[in-house]
């Protein structure tokens, strides 16, 4: 989604002049003064100074959380209640057709009901300020005038306004059509949010409906109609079965989240018009239809398996020369992590559940890496304590065993510190922020490569530490020992090296970069598999067709 502009909220300093000054003992007054804007000169002045622009419901929702009205510096908490107070109305009320409403989350918004031939209107802007009220009325009348030029304007059109400093924004919504629209031509990114390639206008239908549910989530008390609980329940059941029977499902939610959402929706009543339940339905419907839009639902290029790319629009770019040089020195771990990160960022957006899983897996890898590093560190200290491996006689020169053990010790310490730093930096990256964590760097290949290299440091340092310790041990085995010792240990080392090579070759995964020829490692692995056609490991992912066939065979067997 394109980031909304961030103009400052219009000043509300004039609120103080509108408050009652007769507040003896800070008692709530019984009389509620009103704000009036009826001067036509004020309207004409606003028309010359303020620009009215179309906006997305996502912007209005974002601003509703980030722009709250500040209390005036002279405002003080009340201390007493008047006798027989039963209404508990706000000291400042809004007249001239606007009414104050409360959102289920707690913020207030303002509703302008249908009066005569006029349209309905909503706004999150605090209208207690006289200037905001004047500008809201002008914006409302201006949008109404624009709508009158189109005969196809829906009868149930709602005008949503957002008054900012020097700029006013609007959009229109239709309950019956579940549509968001503007009576003027707009840029596609205003509604699409950017990041998703749109090849046909029919593709925007799911996105526009997602924006409609975003609108309902922002104003659930005036959404009109009843919550489509049955429709939502059917969509969630479909998503749940798809997620349970396919490892490459394109469902937006993870298994645990989807289970919890279904349990909540099952408790809702069909046709309920309660604003709290409407808010629940709207939030989930927005996520589901946004997922459909990102997966090109209903289009010829529809994405049916996660990881599939649109032909000719792949996000995966070739690796840089620097990355190709660094990756072998870290034993190929950067390439592994880069493929994992690229699997999260596909077709211009991140897969929320896969991002959560990768963060969890990374933390597990780093935590598990500290234990063997500590053991190896202790082993190196024990090796250095052997007197016969001390410095070369008659000099201050350290022996080869000591130098290799020193290097292994330093690498183990570096691995331990890298793990602790990474765990601390990623401690606050929870499920809700994993998507944002990966979506930023994913737009630049160099940032993705840097991220993959950083993720690989603990594993790479630990393997280098093990190799340094292996060199020290091999020097002990073969330096100034007899032929029998060398033959036995040499044969054992050769056999173990063959086993490790077999494990590596049999499970070697080809590169995800299809634009370059197969590497020498992949060619050797292919030849090795021909000589030893044994599959110890099964492929990690299967196609949807394979999974469907497996499910069919399983059902028939039962």
pLDDT digits (tens, 9 = 90+) for 261-298: 999 999 998 877 788 999 999 999 999 999 899 888 99
User: Of the ranges 62-76, 291-305, 341-355, 433-447, which one carries the lowest mean pLDDT score?
Assistant: 433-447
User: Of the ranges 254-258, 489-493, 534-538, which one carries the lowest mean pLDDT score?
Assistant: 534-538
Greater confidence (379 vs 341) lies with 379
Q: Which long-range contacts (CB under 8 A, 24 or more apart) does 447-453 make?
A: 448/338, 448/341, 448/342, 448/345, 449/319, 449/320, 449/322, 449/323, 449/334, 449/338, 451/337, 451/341, 452/323, 452/334, 452/335, 452/337, 452/338, 452/341, 453/323, 453/326, 453/327, 453/330, 453/334
What secondary structure letter does DSSP report for 51? E
Question: How far is it, in rounded angstroms, from Cα 514 to Cα 512?
Answer: 6
Q: Alpha-carbon dihedral of residues 205, 206, 209, 213, nearest 10 degrees?
A: -170
Greater confidence (200 vs 33) lies with 200
Confidence (pLDDT) at 234? 94
Share of the chain above pLDDT 70, in %: 71
Residue 397: which pLDDT band, with cuts at 50, 70 and 90?
confident
Give pLDDT tens digits for 459-477.
899 999 999 999 998 888 8
**pLDDT mean over 221-247:** 88
Residue 395: which pLDDT band, with cuts at 50, 70 and 90?
low
Question: Phi-psi category of 338—alpha, beta or left, where left has phi over 0 and alpha has psi -120 to 50?
Answer: alpha
Residue 177: which pLDDT band, with cuts at 50, 70 and 90?
very high
Confidence (pLDDT) at 514? 43
Q: Which of 131-140, 160-169, 235-244, 545-554 has the highest mean pLDDT?
A: 235-244
Residue 344: which pLDDT band, with cuts at 50, 70 and 90?
confident
Confidence (pLDDT) at 12? 37
User: Of the ranges 117-126, 145-154, 244-253, which one carries the lowest mean pLDDT score?
Assistant: 244-253
Helices 130-147 and 40-49, axial angle in degrees (round to 10): 80
Greater confidence (458 vs 248) lies with 458
Confidence (pLDDT) at 466? 92
Contact 63, 124 (CB under 8 A): yes
Residue 50 has pLDDT above 80, yes or no: no
User: Of the ranges 189-203, 349-363, 366-380, 478-492, which one carries the lowest mean pLDDT score?
Assistant: 349-363
Q: Which of 412-416, 428-432, 516-520 has the highest mean pLDDT?
A: 412-416
Question: How far is it, in rounded angstroms, from Cα 292 to Cα 284?
Answer: 13
Give pLDDT tens digits for 367-382.
888 888 888 988 888 8
Residue 140 has pLDDT above 60, yes or no: yes
Residue 390: which pLDDT band, with cuts at 50, 70 and 90?
low
Give pLDDT tens digits for 84-111.
888 887 766 665 678 888 899 988 899 9
Confidence (pLDDT) at 121? 94
Residue 454 has pLDDT above 70, yes or no: yes
Question: How far is it, in rounded angstroms, from Cα 344 to Cα 339?
Answer: 9
Confidence (pLDDT) at 273? 77
Give pLDDT tens digits for 515-524.
444 444 455 5
**pLDDT mean over 390-400:** 68
């Amino acid at each position: 989604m394109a980031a909304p502009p961030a103009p400052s909220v219009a000043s509300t300093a004039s609120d103080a002049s509108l408050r009652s000054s007769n507040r003896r003992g800070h008692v709530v007054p019984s009389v509620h003064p009103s704000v009036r804007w009826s001067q036509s000169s004020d309207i004409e002045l606003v028309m010359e100074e303020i620009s009215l622009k179309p906006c997305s419901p996502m912007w209005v929702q974002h601003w509703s959380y980030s722009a709250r009205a500040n209390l005036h510096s002279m405002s003080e908490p009340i201390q007493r209640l008047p006798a027989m107070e039963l209404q508990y109305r706000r000291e400042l009320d809004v007249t001239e057709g606007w009414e104050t409403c409360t959102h289920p989350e707690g913020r207030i918004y303002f509703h302008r009901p249908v009066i005569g031939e006029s349209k309905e209107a909503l706004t999150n802007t605090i209208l207690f300020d006289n200037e905001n009220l004047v500008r809201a009325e002008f914006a409302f009348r201006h949008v109404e005038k624009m709508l009158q030029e189109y005969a196809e304007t829906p009868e149930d059109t709602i005008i949503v306004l957002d008054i900012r400093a020097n700029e006013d924004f609007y959009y229109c919504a239709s309950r019956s059509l579940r549509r968001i629209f503007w009576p003027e031509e707009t840029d596609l990114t205003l509604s699409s949010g950017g990041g998703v390639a749109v090849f046909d206008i029919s593709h925007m239908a799911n996105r526009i409906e997602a924006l409609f549910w975003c609108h309902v989530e922002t104003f659930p008390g005036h959404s009109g109609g009843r919550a489509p609980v049955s429709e939502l329940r059917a969509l969630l059941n479909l998503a749940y079965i798809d997620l349970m029977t396919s490892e490459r499902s394109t469902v937006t939610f993870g298994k645990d989240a989807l289970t919890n959402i279904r349990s909540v929706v099952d408790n809702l009543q069909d046709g309920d018009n309660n604003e709290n339940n409407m808010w629940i339905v709207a939030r989930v419907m927005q996520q589901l239809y946004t997922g459909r839009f990102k997966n090109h639902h209903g289009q010829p290029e529809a994405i049916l398996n996660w990881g599939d790319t649109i032909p000719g629009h792949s996000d995966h770019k070739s690796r840089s020369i620097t990355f190709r040089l660094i990756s072998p020195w870290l034993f190929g771990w950067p390439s592994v992590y880069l493929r994992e990160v690229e699997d999260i960022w596909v077709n211009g957006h991140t897969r929320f559940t896969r991002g959560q899983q990768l963060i969890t897996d990374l933390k597990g890898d780093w935590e598990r890496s500290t234990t063997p590093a500590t053991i190896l560190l202790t082993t190196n200290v024990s090796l250095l304590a052997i007197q016969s491996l001390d410095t070369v006689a008659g000099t201050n020169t350290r022996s080869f065993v000591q130098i290799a053990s020193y290097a292994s010790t330093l690498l183990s310490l570096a691995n331990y510190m890298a793990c602790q730093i990474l765990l601390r930096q990623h401690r606050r990256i929870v499920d809700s922020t994993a998507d944002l964590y990966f979506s930023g760097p994913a737009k630049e290949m160099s940032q993705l490569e840097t991220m993959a290299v950083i993720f690989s440091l603990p594993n790479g340092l630990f393997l280098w530490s093990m190799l340094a310790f292996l060199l020290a041990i091999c020097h002990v085995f073969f330096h100034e020992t007899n032929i029998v010792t060398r033959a036995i240990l040499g044969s054992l080392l050769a056999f173990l090296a063959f086993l490790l090579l077999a494990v590596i070759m049999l499970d070697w995964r080809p590169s995800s970069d299809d634009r370059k020829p197969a590497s020498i490692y992949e060619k050797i692995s292919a030849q090795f598999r021909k000589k030893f056609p044994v599959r110890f490991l099964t492929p990690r992912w299967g196609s949807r067709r394979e999974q469907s066939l497996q499910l069919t065979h399983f059902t028939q067997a039962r």
